Each structure stands twice: as C-alpha cells, then as structure tokens.
C-alpha cells in the first residue's frame, strides 16, 4: 500500500480550522469488505502503534517533560471512549464528526493540533483514507517544538497509516 501526500478535500470539516501555522494531508487507498469508519481508523492510530513509533513517543515524552508539556501518556480505553462517545480526556477531545470524518483536537500550552481521518468511498469495496493534520502555535515554544519534530511527524504519520491499514490489522467496532 502506498501512502502519498494529498490535499485537504473541499468537503472536509477540518477546513474551518484553516488557515493555520502548519497543515498536511496524506492518503492511501485500500480494498476491504469490512465496514470500517473514521472512528475505527483513528482508534487504531492511537492504540496500535508500531514498536518504533512507541519508542519515539517515549523519547519525546522524556525530552518535553522538563518544559512542562503534556507527555502524551494515554490509556487505550480512554482514547477509544473519547473517540466513540466524544468524552474528553486530559489530552484529547473530539471536535467534529460526520459519517465520513472524525476530528480529534490535542491542545497543550504550546500548540493546538487537529487530526482528521477523512474517508471517501470509491466503490467496489475501495476506500480512500486521508489523515489531515492542522496545527496552531500558541507562542514561540510551539514553533520550536513542532519544527523540531516535523521530520518525525512525516515519517510517523505515514508509517502508522501503513501499519494500521494492513488487511490483517483492520479492526472495526462491529
């Protein structure tokens, strides 16, 4: 499966958070008979990370702790409940939902990020899946932090999308 750079679709709910200090979008196409939703994809992104991504997050958490930034420690059931029901967690909350899109907000003192999973039905069991990231910096530390991690962001988002959309990994709520 190939993950490639994309554009933000005109019908995406995330457009209301633009303009922003940073935005990107990645997409891939999958073929599956499973009834997957944007919620399913977002939950898998947060709960089924490859080992190398988990190690990067642990390193990140160690590095940001002295600056008082949220460490991003998460409980899988809390994240899943947040995505399915809209119940807030200390780090995340769901701001927008439609039948083909779910947007999660991650807000900290240095930046506010929105992560969208946008799905498009292509027919014949094919779906286009997009991850869209929109970031608003609160002050200079947001710029410094984000541009320090930006090269990793690119690798992590693409790698996680490939990891969770493998046919053997696709999970649904049904």
pLDDT at residue 161, as a whole number: 92
Say yes or no to pLDDT of 74 above 70: no
Whether 19 is covered by a domain: the verdict is: yes
Say which residues have a Cβ less than 8 Å from residue 31's Cβ, sequence separation at least 6.
124, 125, 126, 127
CATH number at residue 46: 3.30.530
Whether 36 is covered by a domain: the verdict is: yes
Confidence of residue 137 (pLDDT cuts 50, 70, 90): very high
Nearest Cα to Cα of residue 22 among 143, 163, 158: 143
Whether 17 is covered by a domain: the verdict is: yes
C-alpha to C-alpha distance for 118 and 123, rounded to whole angstroms: 16
On whether the CB atoms of residues 3 and 25 are closer than 8 A, the answer is: no
| Count of C-beta atoms within a 10 Å radius of residue 42 | 26
Whether 170 is covered by a domain: the verdict is: no
pLDDT at residue 49, as a whole number: 81
User: What single DSSP character describes residue 165?
Assistant: T
Whether 173 is covered by a domain: the verdict is: no
pLDDT at residue 148, as a whole number: 83
Say which residues have a Cβ less than 8 Å from residue 3's Cβ, sequence separation at least 6.
26, 27, 28, 158, 161, 162
Show the CA angle centred on residue 99, arms to residues 150 and 123, nearest 5°. Answer: 90
Whether 97 is covered by a domain: the verdict is: yes
What would the two tokens of residue 136 be?
């608003």
Whether 144 is covered by a domain: the verdict is: yes
On whether the CB atoms of residues 58 and 51 are closer than 8 A, the answer is: no
Range of the domain at 145: 4-164
pLDDT at residue 115, as a whole number: 98
* pLDDT tens-digit readout, 91-135: 889 999 999 999 999 988 889 999 999 999 999 999 999 999 999
On whether the CB atoms of residues 57 and 49 are closer than 8 A, the answer is: yes
Confidence of residue 69 (pLDDT cuts 50, 70, 90): low
Please count the structural domains in the chain.
Answer: 1
């Amino acid at each position: 499966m190939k993950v490639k750079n994309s554009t933000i679709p005109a019908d995406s709910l995330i457009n209301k958070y633009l303009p922003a200090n940073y935005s990107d979008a990645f997409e891939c196409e999958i073929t599956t008979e499973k009834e997957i939703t944007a919620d399913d994809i977002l939950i898998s992104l947060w709960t089924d990370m490859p080992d190398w991504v988990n190690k990067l997050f642990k390193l990140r958490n160690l590095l940001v702790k002295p600056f008082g930034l949220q460490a991003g420690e998460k409980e899988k059931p809390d994240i899943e409940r947040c995505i399915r029901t809209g119940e807030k967690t200390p780090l995340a909350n769901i701001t927008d939902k439609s039948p083909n899109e779910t947007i999660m907000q991650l807000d900290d003192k240095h930046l506010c990020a929105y992560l969208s999973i946008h799905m498009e039905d292509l027919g014949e069991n094919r779906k286009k899946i997009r991850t869209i990231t929109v970031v608003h910096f609160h002050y200079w530390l947001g710029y410094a932090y984000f541009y320090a991690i930006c090269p990793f962001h690119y690798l992590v988002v693409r790698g996680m999308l490939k990891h969770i959309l493998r046919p053997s990994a696709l999970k649904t709520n049904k």
